[in-house]
Structure 1
């Protein structure tokens, strides 16, 4: 008797997630993000230490992020013309090398110039890496792959963001600036090892960045995410100063707690999105992030700060994965570069504008009032999440294209 006829059909194995090209991209991203986060909170502190005040500190982060946004608009075109390896290598150099000039900066102008150049390099890196990851992970595991990529990008935040502040307080600013430059430039080695075939953009017409910004299916989740990114920029720029009078290393611990929560949430949200749909997570993510920001009204209470950072980190991490996966699901592969650019524009514009606006606002309201208004601004985007879970890729197959 042939028992094979009654045997259950074999289940096809899940496609492999980690490949050598993807690992090399992750190594590049890890090195660059480590250097980025080492300096992210330290540069505003350095600006304050040389006498430019809270407004100058906010402008340093704002200049970094706004130049990033401008460069993100043109990065896909640069990649299409010159190829991913040379463009990505250039981005890493622009992000890392200017940090070596910060120890000699004696005024706000010099700091802002360095931040602008680094912002251009950061834009090139994040857009190019984001498109590469989307192409290299299997479609059926895209949410998980993007979540893993998010972990690679945010693990440096877990360690390097608070470590940068800790080191600056103990060994000075110059060693932190040098370490940020070295770890970023180390990513060039991984880029040079990328197989050339993995670094070429898919030929043919692709969805352009401006067209992506005009497409509601991409614009709505990007605006929702941008609101949480605005709050994230405020957290990393101003929480160290806001809790400065508290006992112990509250600022360092707060940044660490927020980064850990965001990392864990981003990984979980990616896996959940593959099974149940990423867009349905956007509304809960915004609500949790807003509640976390509201807790910072009690900024002089260390326990309230820690609870707020756990909640905000969880909401922010989920918003990152959910918005990015939902946007990639709505375009063809030729649109991956545009999606990466649009998402990163939302991230960085929110991050930069939040830092500048909060610095100006806190002068008049104080930190507690400014944190409360930030929570209200975050929750105001909830109406844009309606109907997001019902949107699908088929509706956007004919999205406008431009080279």
Structure 2
């Protein structure tokens, strides 16, 4: 499961910042760059609620393999567009939508399977390790995609994204062929949304992922052209800090107590990006945001699993991944229009305000936990 997930997210991270740069360089502008990420996440969000049903019917092995194919084959289509020096924008969006569906399938299956296999008393710690597996590819993927796109060309980036998604197909025979009995029947996504104990951490995490979509899509574009090499460095810093923070949060164990600090750290990092033209400030912002984002990833997921029975793990996995991917898409698209109408600094300030608003559900969750 780890191999398949690592391949899927490696493909996504490689293209997460390079595709917006590609479409922007081809004349789509900030709005087009945001849409390229937004449509990717739209495909993910639409596939995620359906994945538990597909998994129950076809099993984790077949569904994971399908997800990897949906990620890898469209990446070859992007490579073909770059090789033909095409400036067509709609095919990029269509291919991104399919890639997003593949991502949604893989992450929902993997999160549910890992949570079910984890020992009851060590679930937070195991999820922290899983978080490192999911986040570690971003250490190289995000900055490498930017650097290769600017210095080697976008075609090789897209080809690499296809390769890392398709190679893990060789490992899928080792996955379970049938859905695990313990997570076969959940109450469903709507029931999860109506559960305040699940909705609050979902809102908190969704706010941090809005900022993540902004960072990965627009940080390279927001920095002055002569300083864009620093964008790759800043994304590298964020990508290094995030998995370490996620692992440390898993070791901490008291996940609910980490929700407020995660919001404060992430919002502080976004607020600093109003000085995105200063490389040292941008690097500091990336480190702060990476820490808050990593803590939020583990704390929200662990809290949500703690609040349901085992048969509801599919619901938690779907709801958490929806918050992740919808937030990234909303952040990228919304920031694109704000930056197009005003400038990048205004966009970063608005994003920081959205992050700060997540303190409301975080504080409400803390109060509810103390009463319980």
TM-score category of the 2 structures, normalised to the smaller one: over 0.9
Aligned pairs, number: 365
CA distance in 2, matches of 1:248, 1:50: 18
What residue number does 2:101 align with? 120
Q: How much does 1:335 deviate? A: 0.8
2:62–2:177 CA contact under 8 A, matched in 1: no
Counterpart pick for 2:20 among 30, 44, 52: 44
What residue number does 2:266 align with? 289
Q: How much does 1:195 deviate? A: 4.7
2:4–2:64 CA contact under 8 A, matched in 1: no
How is 1:251-270 mapped onto 2 (pairs within 5 angstroms)? 251-270=231-250
TM-score normalised by the chain length of structure 2: 0.95
Counterpart pick for 2:62 among 83, 86, 104: 86
What residue number does 2:333 align with? 356
| C-alpha spacing 1:310/1:339, structure 2 compared with 1 (3 Å) | same
What residue number does 1:214 align with? 194
CA distance in 2, matches of 1:142, 1:265: 17
Task: Determine which structure has the larger helix proportion and give its number.
Answer: 2
**Higher alpha-carbon Rg:** 1
1:83–1:201 CA contact under 8 A, matched in 2: no
CA distance in 2, matches of 1:348, 1:280: 24
How is 1:3-402 mapped onto 2 (pairs within 5 angstroms)? 25-105=1-81, 106=86, 107-196=88-177, 199-202=179-182, 205-247=185-227, 249-272=229-252, 274=253, 277-389=254-366
Listed as ranges, the gaps of 5+ residues in structure 1 are 1-24, 396-403
TM-score normalised by the chain length of structure 1: 0.88
CA distance in 2, matches of 1:141, 1:205: 23
1:84–1:201 CA contact under 8 A, matched in 2: no
2:80–2:155 CA contact under 8 A, matched in 1: no
| C-alpha spacing 1:147/1:51, structure 2 compared with 1 (3 Å) | same
Supply the RMSD in Å over aligned alpha carbons.
1.5
Q: How much does 1:390 deviate? A: 6.4
Q: After superposition, give the CA deviation of every residue in 1:192-235 in whole Å (9 maximum; x if it has no partner).
A: 122546x5343653221221122111111001110000000000
Segments of 4+ moved more than 6 angstroms: none
1:159–1:256 CA contact under 8 A, matched in 2: yes
CA distance in 2, matches of 1:176, 1:66: 22
Listed as ranges, the gaps of 5+ residues in structure 2 are none
CA distance in 1, matches of 2:98, 2:29: 22
Q: How much does 1:104 deviate? A: 3.6
Q: How much does 1:389 deviate? A: 4.3
Q: After superposition, give the CA deviation of every residue in 1:256-307 in whole Å (9 maximum; x if it has no partner).
A: 00111111110001111x2xx2111111100110010011000110010011
CA distance in 1, matches of 2:17, 2:48: 22
